[in-house]
Structure 1
Amino acid sequence: MTVTVASACWARGRPTLVAVPDILAAGVVVFRPGREVLLVHRPKYDDWSFPKGKLDPGEHSTAAAVREVAEETGVHVRLGPPLPAQRYPVARRMKTVHYWTGRVVGDDDVTAYRPNDEIDAVAWVPLEEAVGRLTHDHDRETLAAARRVRRKSRAVIVLRHAQARSRSAWRGPDAGRTLLKAGELESQRLVPLLAAYDVTRIVSSPSTRCVQTVRPYAEVAGCPLDLRPPLSEEHATPAGVGEVVDELLSGDAGSVLCTHRPVLPHVYDALGIDVDPGTGLEPAEMLVLHVRKGRVIGVERHHPR
């Protein structure tokens, strides 16, 4: 994130203002059935809050959010709709915390959690009680925002393939065009982002550059690749793309659809969403749609850089 805090330095005997980057962190407001939310107690500050923590160097905020919940509570979660970020001063800097709602994947039991110096208590708390237990006003505001979108949803992700070799430099059928080294790195960096949304279904154009983009995640997650010719540049039609999209919207799994820039308008039309052509997806960028009962209730965009 770009900086907005200024720090005084001296140049030629005069003070100058130098931009100081925000401390970046990520967290999750985790819900479970029964109208309960997951809270943690930090002995250092003697406060009750949501599980959160600073990003590791080079880490994406979505991956950090899921990792921090696992480290602080022992619970694995998948991200739901995003929430407004928190921003507040910490010592002489500003801190920005990106938040999502979340749902548990697997066991939600926290009774076996072992207290430590960082987190000495983890508890599922009824929503009405949580309002009073939270220590900070900004956390109560985040909880209020989360309650408005807390109902269970799943992610349908539209992904443009990673950086590929240029058409002019490629010899052979365009469908066989491969990723650049930079694109291969992007495909690896996509793995924790897709995992953060618990993607278990992978639908892709059969073109090599698309397959190479999603294969690293498929191998890590143990998910098969579902290759669909209607998602390729050569065979895309509005009807064919619409059939694939309808199938994903009506399903019950977190899913990703990997395709090409010229095919994306067909995907957007099938989804019933407006995307400004001037702000189209970059290579390896993903559009995350949060879907409940076939209806899109939230949208966000992420790039693995």
Structure 2
Amino acid sequence: MPDILAAGVVVFRPRREVLLVHRPKYDDWSFPKGKLDRGEHPTAAAVREVAEETGVHVRLGPPLPSQRYPVARRMKTVHYWTGRVVGDDDVSAYRPNDEIDAVAWVPIDEAPARLTYEHDRETLAAARGVRRKTHAVVILRHARARSRDAWRGPDAGRTLLKAGELEADRLVPLLAAYGVTRIVTSTSTRCVQSVRPYAETAGFPLDLRPRLSEENATPKAVAKIVEDLFATETGAVLCTHRPVLPLAYDAAGIELDPESGLAPAELLVLHVRKSRVVAVERHRPR
């Protein structure tokens, strides 16, 4: 049978503490985590589970090795990320319930002794190696659009297909999971439509850049935009087109095999610290 899928976060705060939860059913201490809902992306599930189990809202940092272990007659895979709190990190008012009866910020050096399972201690050790604060710069290829052959009019006005509109809606929880607050996009309609659902949901303005369009992009212009996003140190998404993507990769100092380029609506998440990429991951909306 297929694995049971779950997601969780190793959440840190600046006082060198990590967030742990106690489950009375198993009498164990572990990280906040939980099963994916039907059709839910692991990144969205990880953020949702932390909020539901602790009342704390987080944004994801670099990914961690997944855990896989037997549960009854099946195997369970838990996808993990490091995370940082967005807003209030006070858990003193948490109300115990049948699922989680205690939530605590534990000093990192004391956490291994508090954790019940060896696989959680291994995950903590991996997280400590990448716990320094980063911000995400997301490079996004626009969602599925109408074909050039079928479109009548300027190419910049080409719109998304219905399937592409659905992909744009499904991008919302993924971008939210990485704490994206800045939305930089090509002025072409298909790019604007790809990020507009997130902009409207999150309440952030669109930063329209003609220099990210197929017609106007240049290596120098794209490099300047990427450099700015790296230096700003806030979560950001850059939406552009397949022919422009290699310019963004070059500007970011990363290599991506042209044969495995981003699919429509696929995103490349760059975790940046002090203008340097320290981790990379790829996701597609579900």
Fold shared, TM-score > 0.5 on shorter chain: yes
Q: CA deviation at 1:266?
A: 0.5
Write out aligned runs for 1:64-83 (5 A). 64-83=45-64
Which residue in 1 is equivalent to 2:100? 119
Instruction: Report the AA paired with residue 212 of structure 1.
Output: Q
Paired residue for 2:76, among 89, 95, 112?
95
Structure 1 runs (4+) greater than 3 angstroms displaced: none
Which residue in 2 is equivalent to 1:283? 264
Q: Are residue 23 (structure 1) and residue 4 (structure 2) matched? A: yes
**Percent identity between the two aligned chains:** 81
Instruction: Report the AA paired with residue 99 of structure 1.
Output: Y
In 2, the alpha carbon distance for the partners of 1:228 and 1:256 equals 12
Write out per-residue CA displacement over residues 49-85 of structure 1, whole angstroms, 9 at most, x where no aligned residue.
0000000000000000000000000000000000000
Which residue in 1 is equivalent to 2:19? 38
Q: Are residue 234 (structure 1) and residue 215 (structure 2) matched? A: yes
Q: Which has the larger radius of gyration?
A: 1
Which residue in 2 is equivalent to 1:50? 31
Instruction: Report the AA paired with residue 142 of structure 1.
Output: T
Describe the SS at the equivalent of 1:262: coil
Q: Are residue 138 (structure 1) and residue 127 (structure 2) matched? A: no
Which residue in 1 is equivalent to 2:146? 165
In 2, the alpha carbon distance for the partners of 1:159 and 1:261 equals 9
Which residue in 2 is equivalent to 1:302? 283
Paired residue for 2:252, among 266, 271, 282?
271
Write out per-residue CA displacement over residues 235-288 of structure 1, whole angstroms, 9 at most, x where no aligned residue.
011011111111101112100000000000100010110000010000000000
In 1, the alpha carbon distance for the partners of 2:246 and 2:217 equals 11
Structure 2: runs of 5+ lacking an equivalent: none
Q: How many pairs are equivalent?
A: 286
In 2, the alpha carbon distance for the partners of 1:252 and 1:277 equals 28
Describe the SS at the equivalent of 2:136: strand
Instruction: Report the AA paired with residue 269 of structure 1.
Output: D
Which residue in 1 is equivalent to 2:109? 128
In 1, the alpha carbon distance for the partners of 2:206 and 2:160 equals 18
In 2, the alpha carbon distance for the partners of 1:297 and 1:267 equals 16
> TM-score when scaled to structure 1?
0.93
Alignment RMSD: 0.4
Which residue in 2 is equivalent to 1:62? 43
Structure 1: runs of 5+ lacking an equivalent: 1-19
Q: CA deviation at 1:186?
A: 0.2
In 1, the alpha carbon distance for the partners of 2:276 and 2:243 equals 25
Q: CA deviation at 1:34?
A: 1.1
Describe the SS at the equivalent of 2:244: helix
Paired residue for 1:190, among 165, 171, 183?
171
